Structure 1
Amino acid sequence: MSEEITLTKNTGALKGKTIFITGASRGIGRAIALKCAADGANIAIAAKSAEPHPKLPGTIYTVAAEIEAAGGKALPMQVDVREEDQVAEALKKTADTFGGIDAVINNAGAINLTNVESTPPKRYDLMLDINARAVYLTAHLAIPYLKQAECGHILSLSPPLNLEPRWLGPFAPYALSKFGMTILSLGLAEELSKTNISVATLWPRTLVATAAIEFAVGSREMFDQSRKPGVMADAAYEVLITRNQGLNGAQLIDEVLLHERGVEDFTQYAHNPAKAGELAVDLFLDP
């Protein structure tokens, strides 16, 4: 776990809290799970990866073992976020197992960086379903549980709205699916503003070394231009420990939030610290 959590300290604020994370078997979702587990949180791992993949390490069961080793409690569940019945059952099982749900993190994602002409309809539907629709579906089904929490959170990993043509022209289908997550989150923040539930989005300032970068965006060589998933885990943790809707409706960038919370040295987050000055800015963000 040391490679995931590099800078910010755990406070114990999430001890006994229950965090439902989609796509938590790998990458950023796994890093967030381990960060919260180190606080003693209960982690519901809602992901499709139940069997080992030849190229992608990690399953819901391997992450469950890591969570338990880190000090948390784990509930691994094979879930397709496109399926209403599966999401509803997973949320119910989580609440029944741990006595409630305190936060939902929409981390599962699908990416295909192609323009409209080059995007097959099935791929378009997949991105909309796993990205934008899943935010609606998980929120719709989770709100009744979150309203019973002392301080509920819905956090979606999506970018701040940026409608510059240079971001839309090359891959409008993917942009639509990710901006859809953000628009739904902004709407939810207003809808739930008079409740105990805070809604926000979070996006990395730089590329993050994940399978998406290796296989969908470029290649493993791009890891030298990336930060480790721990930077997003630390930022997500800061969101989850924020009380009284202090970040409700916020479109957050990991680096900006962490800097506001006292982090000054980001070198240790770099996948290759020797090249920490050569990091690539992530999609949808201006340099």
Structure 2
Amino acid sequence: MSSTTHTLAGKSVLVTGGTRGIGRAIALRCARDGASVAVLGRSADSSAVADEISVAGGRGLALTCDMGNDAQVAASVARVAAEFGGIDVLVNNATVLVLKRTSELTMAEYDLMSTTNARGAFAAAKYALPHLRRSANAHILTLCPQPQLEARWFEHNMAYTASKFAMGLMAFGLAAEQRANGIASNALWPYTTIATDGLAECGNAELQARPRTPEIMADAAYCIVTQPAAEFSGNFCLDEVVLREAGVHDFDRYSAVPGTPQGDLSRDHLVSAEQLARLHELQGN
């Protein structure tokens, strides 16, 4: 990855699932450039995030949106484009996390995951595309892992894994489909678990023990969406790899539990062998 060559000053950014956690951190990072940033969330009270965006240096807009409701997604995207004069960056972050085996998962939980994760990301991209085509440096960034046909990724949380891999296939497909329109599409995933409400609610003590903060994903996302769209598309990115390639060396500041040795961090369970090999190369291992 080349060094950042673009700024988000004067740009319009839309972040789904942007009222908390990773989405909120990405929104605030983009706002520091002076961008107009809209966040979509299920919460009816998301005005505080819009205020935070303004304090960070951007122009904030927060909208309540059910990502499984086509009409709401279409209306939200249209409103963002109308109020900001277009859309330059779409961040597909909205995700429902339910870590259960098939026999334990209710169909309501399955439907919520599949409609929010894969279908919601598709709908956001579909309705944003006409606006992205008018941008001078358009990016779609989807927060999902690289799809991998290995049993170990499916044996404990098959439905969740399938929904996130579906997002990865969509991110890769959009890169191919929209290349002629100048729209980049990339995926981003964390090397470690990230301290969010979703992680706190997942019930896995090992994953919850020593995560990193959402800011590492925000910094990596910023590096990606400020790349030249014509030159950086179709990639499955890992947060630490992105930042190391951008020249970052201090990762202690991202530890949610200060003082945690980097080797003791809680690792995410969907990192591909290819991504891990590249990270170890950069780490000098």
CA contact (8 A) 1:205 1:282 kept: yes
Q: What is the distance in 1 between the residues matched to 2:180 and 2:33?
A: 28
CA contact (8 A) 1:223 1:272 kept: no
Q: What is the distance in 2 between the residues matched to 1:240 and 1:223?
A: 29
CA contact (8 A) 2:29 2:218 kept: yes
1:68 corresponds to which of 26, 29, 54 = 54
Any stretches of 5+ residues in structure 2 without a counterpart? 277-285
CA contact (8 A) 2:8 2:30 kept: yes
**Following TM superposition, by how much is the alpha carbon of 1:171 offset from its aligned partner in structure 2, in angstroms?**
1.1
CA offsets, 1:27-76, max 9 Å, x none?
0000001100011010111111123xxxxxxxx21111111111100111
1:44 matches 2:29 = no
1:201 matches 2:187 = yes
- Number of aligned residue pairs: give it: 270
Equivalent position amino acid for 2:167 in 1: M
CA gap 1:27/1:92 in 2 versus in 1, 3 angstroms? same
Which aligned runs of 4 or more in structure 1 are off by greater than 6 angstroms? 9-12
**Following TM superposition, by how much is the alpha carbon of 1:163 offset from its aligned partner in structure 2, in angstroms?**
2.1
**Following TM superposition, by how much is the alpha carbon of 1:224 offset from its aligned partner in structure 2, in angstroms?**
4.6
Q: Tell me the secondary structure at the aligned position of residue 144 of structure 2.
A: coil
Equivalent position amino acid for 1:282 in 2: D
Equivalent position amino acid for 1:113 in 2: L
Q: Tell me the secondary structure at the aligned position of residue 61 of structure 2.
A: strand
CA contact (8 A) 2:95 2:113 kept: yes
CA contact (8 A) 2:141 2:185 kept: yes
Match of 1:186 in 2: 172
**Following TM superposition, by how much is the alpha carbon of 1:98 offset from its aligned partner in structure 2, in angstroms?**
1.0
CA offsets, 1:79-137, max 9 Å, x none?
11111111111111111111100011111100111111221111111111000111211
Matches within 5 A, 1:114-193: 114-193=100-179
Q: What is the distance in 2 between the residues matched to 1:276 and 1:111?
A: 27
Among the aligned pairs, what percent are the same residue? 39
Q: What is the distance in 2 between the residues matched to 1:12 and 1:36?
A: 12
Aligned CA-pair RMSD: 1.8
Any stretches of 5+ residues in structure 1 without a counterpart? 1-8, 52-59
Matches within 5 A, 1:263-282: 263-277=248-262, 278-282=264-268
Match of 1:234 in 2: 219
TM-score, normalised to structure 2's length? 0.90
Matches within 5 A, 1:5-44: 13-44=7-38
Equivalent position amino acid for 1:241 in 2: T
Match of 2:283 in 1: none
Q: Tell me the secondary structure at the aligned position of residue 157 of structure 2.
A: helix
Q: What is the distance in 2 between the residues matched to 1:217 and 1:151?
A: 40
TM-score, normalised to structure 1's length? 0.90
CA contact (8 A) 1:152 1:198 kept: yes
Q: Tell me the secondary structure at the aligned position of residue 259 of structure 2.
A: helix
